[in-house]
Structure 1
Amino acid sequence: MRFLLAALALVLTLMYFTFGLRFGYVTLTPTYMLNATGEGHYGFSTFEEGQHVGVRGSCSVRRGNVTLRLLDPKGIQVAGQICPKGTWALNLLGSGPNGTYELIVEYRNFTGTLDITEARK
């Protein structure tokens, strides 16, 4: 039992220093992160021309920052926001041709909470 606890502690320590610890699923639940580094990609499909799609929510940053970019189906950025230290509201909406819009979330040593949900108009 002690060996398993030591192994678990070692694994969590390695995860913390490589890509961070993440608790939650970004587009469904509030996600708590410790030293998160890297990128996340999320797709939102539209079926009608001119339909608005994106995310709304908040980010609370204690350390590092998080950058959110919304790309249209052609790969052109239609919305973006950076969350530095502090608490911020998020509202990224884009419209244009139908297809899959991609949300790219880039973490840089991010410690805090990210709470976003899909928004359509």
Structure 2
Amino acid sequence: MRLLLAALALVLTLMYFTFGLRFGYVTLTPTYMLNATGESRYGFITYEDDQSVGVRGVCDVRKGNVTVRLLDPAGVQVAGQVCPKGKWALNALGKGRNGTYELVMEYKDFTGIIDINEARE
């Protein structure tokens, strides 16, 4: 049992220093992150032209920053926001032709909480 706990502690330490620790799923639950680095991608499908899609919520940054980009089906950025240190409202909505819109979240040494939900209009 002690060996198992030591191995778990080692794995968590390695994860913390390589790409960070993430607890939660960004578009479903509040997500707690420690020293997160890298990016996450989420897709949102629209079936009608001129249907708005994106995310709304809050990012509470204690360290580092997170950049949020919403790309349309052609790969063109239609919305974006950077959350530096502090508590920020997040609103990234785009609309246009139908297809799969992609939410790209880039983390740079990010420690904090992201609480966002899918938004459609």
TM range (shorter): over 0.9
In 2, Cα distance between equivalents of 1:47 and 1:80: 22
Structure 1 residues 1-121: aligned runs within 5 Å: 1-121=1-121
In 1, Cα distance between equivalents of 2:113 and 2:91: 16
State the AA in 1 paired with 2:51. Q
- C-alpha deviation, 1:23, in angstroms: 0.3
After TM superposition, where is structure 1 displaced by more than 6 Å over at least 4 residues in a row?
none
Q: Secondary structure in 1 aligned to 2:5?
A: helix
- Which 5+ residue runs of structure 2 have no aligned equivalent? none
Measured on the aligned residues, the alpha-carbon RMSD in Å equals 0.4
- The number of residues matched between the two structures is 121
TM-score (norm 1): 0.99
- C-alpha deviation, 1:105, in angstroms: 0.2
- Which 5+ residue runs of structure 1 have no aligned equivalent? none
State the AA in 1 paired with 2:67. T
State the AA in 2 paired with 1:118. E
